[in-house]
Structure 1
Amino acid sequence: MKRTICTLLLLTVLNSLLAEDGYRLWLRYDRIDNKPLLQQYQALITSIHVPGASPVLVSARQELLTGLQGLLGKKIPLQDRITTGTIVAGTYTTSHLIRAAIPARELQQAGSEGFIIRSVNINQQPVIIITAASDAGVLYGVFHLLRLLQTHQPLQALSITSTPKIQHRLLNHWDNLNRTVERGYAGFSIWDWHRLPGYIDPRYIDYARANASIGINGTVLTNVNANANVLTKPYLLKVAALASVFHRYGIKVYLTARFSAPVELDGLKTADPLDPQVREWWKQKAAEIYRYIPNFGGFLVKANSEGQPGPQNYGRTHADGANMLADAVAPHHGIVMWRAFVYSNEKPDDRFKQAYDEFKPLDGQFRKNVMVQVKNGPIDFQPREPFHPLFGAMPATPLMMEFQITQEYLGFATNLVYLAPLFKECLDSDTYAKGKGSTVSRVINGSLEGHTLSGIAGVANIGNDVNWCGHPFAQSNWYAFGRLAWDHDLSSATIAHEWLRQTFTNNANFINPAQQLLLASREHTVQYMTPLGLHHIMGNSHHYGPAPWTNKAARADWDPVYYHKADSTGIGFDRTANGSNALAQYRPEVRKQWETLANCPEAYLLWFHRVKWDHRMASGKTLWEELCAQYYAGVEAVRHMQQTWNSLQPYVDPQRFEQVRQLMAVQENEAVWWRNACLLYFQTYSRMPIPAGYEQPGQTLEYYMGLRFPYAPGI
């Protein structure tokens, strides 16, 4: 009996070691299963030469050793001499061989963080060179070469130059010091503040590796709803311990600054940004931070928004507040990212317009080391939004993009929603700020107005769940954000293809249908949540599930009825000149595509127009019939996604297959819930039947209105 128990325990341990739990993300360095390709790679790569001993180059060397040993199934030796098949990785300053093989002008073209991967001959020996102007660039090049192997790409005659299009590529963690995560759906915070600085969880190293592999070079550790305690010495020592780990992977740490910190921490009577004592307090605080963290990146600030303190408390502007902090970090080469997510319930005007109204007049008033961080859309990370009107409207100020990777309004971590199409939809939008081709991507990369400071941030979906993101496919959004932050010209399809090959398998029988599943998933989600331009009709506070009937929040612009405005005559928010005139904040060329019912794409119809229930749509259906068709199509699409996933079982490990299968069943239930609840509610105004042939809701509207979720995650 004891032997049987011991055998079962051993099998359990072995199975757990072999199980695909998602922890390795896209860095799965498993032996290549294509034998001819494996033999080809083994012949092309025989040794590694990485001169230099900086922390980042040590990380690059270790990643090459680990990755190649796993992928090629054998140990690849480190050696000082160059032979056939050597990978030479280093900078100009660390390798005379690289200086002899790569012209300096080509390296200059790659920029400070870009890299070159080149097949060359050194002393008649064919080798692969990975080089860059900086150690971080070499590390990025190493990860790119490993990606080529992981995705089974040819390694002969390599000639790759890759340069990041955006300078600051950051994750924003909305993590609190008590380890809860606002809008986090994958467990608690990965920052174990209680055990820091003494205990460095190996997870921190793997977090840094994952970020470096996709070019992310900064992380904001704390919630934008900031806690001043993180600026005290005990916590700065903890932050310094994390910064030391991340520095080895080219990643800087940033902190959120609570504007009232001088009052809360040291008893100053004011936090007025023009007060000399306050300015001196921040100057000394910045100096203290840099003593503990020499490569500290700077501050991210949420001020005068949703109850957060800020300069307007003292009759000052956002520019006054940002410039005070910018002056404090400028001697240390730090930056300030000042969020433009501001709106006030006291202002009766359309919430859509408020950020533009507050920040547009301040254009050109910010210090050179300040970026204004703008959400992709004017409301709040909705399943579909028009691009924010501030993009292209502040030519004298560097604007930084803020995307949400975590799925606050997109089904949390139970719904499979690939967000690269959402990101691309915004990045590729044309602002017409300087004529056709003035895309949002050109605004944020600085090229449109010649800014040298540029940035992009993604609100992280990372927690302490074993697979990091809750849903196995939610990892794709972290990956997609990083790849687009590096190169916003990449297509959603290319990124999905890469991620699937690295995360699951290179088998085309899996890749092709799984890629199509990913690419269609966001549009399907819009259909069963917020079709035809509906927006912000989720449950209050937790934002989980539909609640279009909610009208008793503490402020009007937290209520769904504020946004859909349904009544017996029609539905939608009129933002034309006849309504709130929010469209006036866009250039004429942009307004033209949205300002009339005839021209407005139906995807944005209810964003910009109030439409009668019997309005004829492009399909020939009435608005009500088209709304029903969209909701029902969304549910059917999720069911098709389930069928597709089930057909892929032979190509997926049992653990992840079953996890996704169960989550897709949850997603189907939630899609039906969304469809039924919304249509039953809007039907009370349209007074039209759900067309014949559709399955009828199985519950009453009163049932759906009675659902409560007091412990929904992420609050």
Structure 2
Amino acid sequence: TIERGYSGHSIWNWDELPDVVSPRYREYARANASVGINGVVLNNVNASSKILSAEYLAKVAKIADVFRPYGIKVYLSANFAAPMQLGGLKTADPLEPEVAAWWKAKADEIYKLIPDFGGFLVKANSEGQPGPCDFDRTHAEGANMMARALKPHGGIVMWRAFVYSPADADRAKQAYIEFQPLDGKFDDNVIVQIKNGPIDFQPREPYSPLFGAMPQTDQMVEFQVTQEYLGHSNHIAYLAPMWTEFFDYVSPSSLKAIAGVANVGNDTNWTGHPMAQANWYAFGRLAWNPQLSSEEIIDEWMPMTLNYPENTPKEVIDGLKKMMLNSREAVVDYMMPLGLHHLFAFGHHYGPEPWCDIKGGRPDWMPPYYHRADSTGLGFNRSSSGSNAVAQYPAQLAKKLDNINTCPEEFILWFHHVPWDFKMKSGATLWQELCNRYQSGVESVETMQRQWTAAKPYIDPELWNDVNERLMTQARDANWWKEGCLLYFQQFSGMPIPDNVTPPVHTLDQLKGIKLGISNYECPTPELLNSKR
């Protein structure tokens, strides 16, 4: 299976390799090369040490042979405890000579099989994964030890900064606290890989303050192409606008590389939702030309993929383009507008569960930790009067974010605990604006459905039916999000839902009763309770 994969099983047939090499490997390499992707990490960041065994390296070498003509290097996620788990050592302490020698010998073994091997990706001391901190060593000491094993061969280490040990009461601050003091201490073939936002691939986040805060350290951004938090492969969510928004704050010239958590599986169309191919395409295009607009990219992608005839009316094509360009903002509105974040159902992250608060669970895995709803207002106070996460940003931006009246409204509930009766720029109160945004999200999906219906005569019937069914699911889910969140937050605001907002047809208890069982590679298709809508 694929963790956070919603388009079937893995394309790698490990049991058949190295004897049987699927023709899809070549097709996959060709597709990546067509948009400029020049490296692939073959395995999960929650890595099994088995991938570094002689048995599996022979399999990896076969994939590398397929990729080589397309200019694509193979990389592997490495488990930091591999010297213990695979090599039988008593420790993985990066300062122990026998540990460094094990990694050097392993690197030599790999490069004999794969002369152009790219290097290692490492998730360390995060979510239970082993790392140098287990031995009272720093991330830099761990990364440098591995990098020195690769250095003679020209390999690199991509060291993930996705950590959130409880160094501070605000999870959004923790990666900065742990990594920023290490600036200048990483070897020159180490790149610190940082998620675009400080939490975890939310529909909208401010950029991670680590970008620009480590000027003596090579950095790369990690985007999520798969839609873990954006309706899996049931929802249209064109992500180029999210990524160009990131580049509005972070200069591409400050980055050494760009990584994307892939959305590719063994489904016939690769990505489950046919329109999700746009994100794979956009990732590659933006990696080499971050100045491209979301519209320019969709103008390239749409006619190649939808293959509509030349006589397709302009208004139909314009409608399809708007459907794609507006889709991400629609998702933000019907899921978590105004800077709300992490309101998802526990574990699988599909559907709303702002009420989830499992006893004994990590507080920062629970939605109430993030939304902080109470009788006075809503949102996480990260201003100077709260956790002071704003202080991690450059001074001019920090000043803007710190003031509730100048903080961009798309981030206002990220940085402030806002009173329910606070007047927004529209003149509405926070509560009214919240209701309006959820209603807008639902209506945007209904508009997307009409735009897709108008294109029916010009689209291949199988493709049209597939997307149409998923749009029906997306419309249902948008209502589910709207009703669940508004009914839940209404308990705290004590305010009526405005007349211009379609009233819920379910009770909060009914919505709380929806339980989904989801595998790693399947999208849910739950039947909501009977609805008149």
> Which residue in the other structure is 1:242 paired with?
63
1:304 aligns with 2:119: no
Change (3 A) 1:712 1:668: farther
RMSD: 1.1
Greater radius of gyration (CA): 1
Deviates most, 508-517 or 529-538: 508-517
> Which residue in the other structure is 2:419 paired with?
612
User: C-alpha deviations, 1:100-154, integer Å up to 9, x for none?
Assistant: xxxxxxxxxxxxxxxxxxxxxxxxxxxxxxxxxxxxxxxxxxxxxxxxxxxxxxx
For residues 473 and 710 of structure 1, the distance between their equivalents in structure 2, rounded to whole angstroms, comes to 25
User: C-alpha deviations, 1:140-180, integer Å up to 9, x for none?
Assistant: xxxxxxxxxxxxxxxxxxxxxxxxxxxxxxxxxxxxxxxx1
For residues 180 and 420 of structure 2, the distance between their equivalents in structure 1, rounded to whole angstroms, comes to 36
1:482 aligns with one of 273, 281, 284: 284
For residues 530 and 699 of structure 1, the distance between their equivalents in structure 2, rounded to whole angstroms, comes to 20
For residues 128 and 48 of structure 2, the distance between their equivalents in structure 1, rounded to whole angstroms, comes to 13
> Which residue in the other structure is 1:514 paired with?
320
Asked if structure 2 preserves the Cα contact closer than 8 Å seen for 1:542 and 1:714, the reply is no
Q: What TM-score results when the alignment is normalised by the length of structure 1?
A: 0.71
**Higher-RCO chain (CA-CA 8 Å, sequence separation at least 6):** 2
Q: Which amino acid aligns with 2:423?
A: R
Q: 1:682 Cα deviation (Å)?
A: 0.3
Q: Which amino acid aligns with 1:268?
A: L
For residues 424 and 275 of structure 1, the distance between their equivalents in structure 2, rounded to whole angstroms, comes to 44
Gaps of 5+ in 1: 1-179, 430-438, 445-453
> Which residue in the other structure is 1:493 paired with?
295
For residues 583 and 442 of structure 1, the distance between their equivalents in structure 2, rounded to whole angstroms, comes to 24
> Which residue in the other structure is 1:254 paired with?
75
Aligned pair count reads: 517
1:363 aligns with 2:183: yes
- Please list, as runs of the form range in 1=range in 2, the aligned pairs for 1:181-196 lying within 5 A after superposition: 181-196=2-17
Asked if structure 2 preserves the Cα contact closer than 8 Å seen for 1:339 and 1:373, the reply is yes
> Which residue in the other structure is 1:35 paired with?
none
Q: What TM-score results when the alignment is normalised by the length of structure 2?
A: 0.96
1:462 aligns with one of 261, 264, 286: 264
Q: Which amino acid aligns with 1:283?
A: K
For residues 202 and 350 of structure 1, the distance between their equivalents in structure 2, rounded to whole angstroms, comes to 47
For residues 14 and 373 of structure 2, the distance between their equivalents in structure 1, rounded to whole angstroms, comes to 47
Asked if structure 2 preserves the Cα contact closer than 8 Å seen for 1:229 and 1:235, the reply is yes
> Which residue in the other structure is 1:588 paired with?
395
Asked if structure 2 preserves the Cα contact closer than 8 Å seen for 1:613 and 1:624, the reply is yes
1:373 aligns with 2:193: yes
1:554 aligns with 2:375: no
Secondary structure of 1:428's aligned partner: helix
1:644 aligns with one of 448, 451, 475: 451
Deviates most, 521-530 or 546-555: 546-555
Q: 1:631 Cα deviation (Å)?
A: 0.2
User: C-alpha deviations, 1:472-515, integer Å up to 9, x for none?
Assistant: 10000000000001111111100000000211236463432211
Asked if structure 2 preserves the Cα contact closer than 8 Å seen for 1:505 and 1:511, the reply is no
For residues 477 and 323 of structure 2, the distance between their equivalents in structure 1, rounded to whole angstroms, comes to 18
Q: Which amino acid aligns with 1:520?
A: N
> Which residue in the other structure is 2:147 paired with?
326
For residues 404 and 714 of structure 1, the distance between their equivalents in structure 2, rounded to whole angstroms, comes to 16
2:253 aligns with one of 423, 430, 442: 442
Q: Which amino acid aligns with 2:334?
A: Y
> Which residue in the other structure is 1:106 paired with?
none
> Which residue in the other structure is 2:329 paired with?
523
Secondary structure of 2:475's aligned partner: helix
Q: 1:181 Cα deviation (Å)?
A: 0.6
For residues 399 and 459 of structure 2, the distance between their equivalents in structure 1, rounded to whole angstroms, comes to 48
Q: 1:554 Cα deviation (Å)?
A: 2.1
Asked if structure 1 preserves the Cα contact closer than 8 Å seen for 2:168 and 2:174, the reply is no
Change (3 A) 1:714 1:594: farther
Asked if structure 2 preserves the Cα contact closer than 8 Å seen for 1:254 and 1:299, the reply is yes
For residues 592 and 692 of structure 1, the distance between their equivalents in structure 2, rounded to whole angstroms, comes to 37
Secondary structure of 1:374's aligned partner: strand
User: C-alpha deviations, 1:501-543, integer Å up to 9, x for none?
Assistant: 2112364634322111111110011000000110011011111
> Which residue in the other structure is 2:527 paired with?
none
Q: 1:689 Cα deviation (Å)?
A: 1.1
For residues 619 and 522 of structure 1, the distance between their equivalents in structure 2, rounded to whole angstroms, comes to 21
Q: 1:366 Cα deviation (Å)?
A: 0.5
Q: Which amino acid aligns with 2:211?
A: F
Gaps of 5+ in 2: 523-533
> Which residue in the other structure is 2:435 paired with?
628
1:597 aligns with 2:404: yes
Secondary structure of 2:86's aligned partner: helix
For residues 70 and 334 of structure 2, the distance between their equivalents in structure 1, rounded to whole angstroms, comes to 41
> Which residue in the other structure is 1:423 paired with?
243
For residues 294 and 712 of structure 1, the distance between their equivalents in structure 2, rounded to whole angstroms, comes to 37
For residues 590 and 279 of structure 1, the distance between their equivalents in structure 2, rounded to whole angstroms, comes to 42
Q: Which amino acid aligns with 2:331?
A: T
Secondary structure of 1:633's aligned partner: helix
Q: Which amino acid aligns with 2:435?
A: C
1:694 aligns with one of 493, 501, 506: 501
Change (3 A) 1:712 1:200: closer
Q: 1:442 Cα deviation (Å)?
A: 2.3
Asked if structure 2 preserves the Cα contact closer than 8 Å seen for 1:301 and 1:337, the reply is yes
1:538 aligns with one of 337, 344, 348: 344
1:219 aligns with 2:40: yes
For residues 288 and 672 of structure 1, the distance between their equivalents in structure 2, rounded to whole angstroms, comes to 55
Q: Which amino acid aligns with 1:443?
A: S
Asked if structure 2 preserves the Cα contact closer than 8 Å seen for 1:391 and 1:440, the reply is no
User: C-alpha deviations, 1:399-427, integer Å up to 9, x for none?
Assistant: 00100000010000000000000010001
